[in-house]
Amino acid sequence: MKFNTKTIHGGQEHDKAYGAVMPPIYQTSTYAQSTPGGHKGFEYSRTHNPTRQALEKALASIENGKFGLAFGSGLAAIDAVIKLLEPGDEVVSTNDLYGGSYRLFTSIFKKFGIKFHFIGMENADNIESYINNNTKLIWVETPTNPMMNIIDIKACSEIAKKHNLLLAVDNTFATPYLQQPLDLGADIVMHSATKYLGGHSDVVMGALIVKDQELADKLYFIQNASGAVCGPQDSFLVLRGIKTLHIRMQRHCENGKAIAEYLANHPKVENVYWPGFENHPNHHIAKEQMNGFSGMISFTTKGNNYEEAIKIVENLKIFTLAESLGGVESLAGHPASMTHASIPKEEREKTGVVDSLIRLSVGIEDIDDLINDLRLAIG
């Protein structure tokens, strides 16, 4: 079954009760039992829910995995991965990553004795020098948020296997339409399903997908024991969103390319960060491991002027100034004061998250309207 068909049919079956084409929303917390322990596979919705189960099967299918797990948010999914570790363990993470991930690592898990190394991974060889007997996990985002850096997943996988480490990849920006990390050697794929998988800015959810049964069992235990699960209504919305993922991503990519090229030729724009450009660092890796370059773009204006960046995002009319990304509508954000405000200024500026940086999530509107909106806002 090819990808575009998987988004609609992958892991799915018609409802056994009445043949419903879409899995029903099982809005229930508990299930009747004929005798203690005698049930039809469901006993309590924190542990299992038919709607969530349908979503989890779909997630596994589109990522070429065997096991999917859905959580109440992307951070809840990351939280479950880090709970695989013990005090004294170490994690090697990319230094350009979502501010919420950085906050979770440094403000929550660091005090429980887990050590994190934040390094540039554009050259995967940099990872080796940070690995020791305590290292248990390599955490990768690619493309990274918000600098759109590209990390070689195959190279990271080779290093992880050499040292018997887990490799987890945040695939939120690329989605399985553009990139499938499990096929490239990753052990765990993570998504903020709030973004492209849901696709309509109406749900908050996270997801993990794996191939290994033992690893899946450990994560299912954490999911159930910690309880950070999503509800059936949210599961239904993301499952519905997945069914149009392929056609939405096609337009996101088309519009993203047009916007990136427009910005690159704008006299007031200093830098444009988009992996589709041939001069983008690791563009050759992006071409190799991705099927397109997404609709995520970051850019800076000349002079690195904070006030100018704020004025631009406030003047946009079709692009909405808001947190998040990946919806059908175009969104704009100012990472330094929004998504990455939890990262100390000195640390974020080392990775390029300067005060003039603007991040765009290019939606699926008419491209002429989007370009005109940017033209008027930038001046």
User: Among candidates 347, 344, 282, which has minimal Cα distance to 148?
Assistant: 282
Contact 253, 292 (CB under 8 A): yes
Strand, helix or coil for residue 262? helix
Strand, helix or coil for residue 276? coil
Query: DSSP character for 278?
Result: T
Question: For residues 211 and 155, what is the distance between their CA atoms, to the nearest angstrom?
Answer: 19
- Which CA distances in Å does 134 have to 86, 145, 193? 10, 27, 31
Contact 90, 48 (CB under 8 A): no
Q: Which residues of 369-378 are buried (b: 16+ CB within 10 A; e: fewer)?
A: ebbebbeebb
Question: Pairing relation of β-strands 206-210 and 188-192?
Answer: antiparallel
Q: Which residues of 202-218 are buried (b: 16+ CB within 10 A; e: fewer)?
A: ebbbbbbbbbbeebbee
Instruction: Find out whether the peptide bond into 181 is cis, omega within 30 degrees of 0.
Output: no
Structure-token match 């924190």, residue found: 46
Residue 134 CB coordination number (10 Å): 13
The residue annotated as part of the active site, out of 170, 187, 234, 373, is 170
Q: Tell me the residue length of the chain.
A: 379
Contact 312, 358 (CB under 8 A): yes
Q: Is 103 a catalytic residue?
A: no
Strand, helix or coil for residue 307? helix
Q: Is 195 a catalytic residue?
A: yes
Q: Residue 314 corresponds to which tokens in the numbers above?
A: 């406030």
The residue annotated as part of the active site, out of 52, 83, 96, 98, is 98
The residue annotated as part of the active site, out of 6, 83, 136, 195, is 195
List active site positions: 46, 98, 170, 195
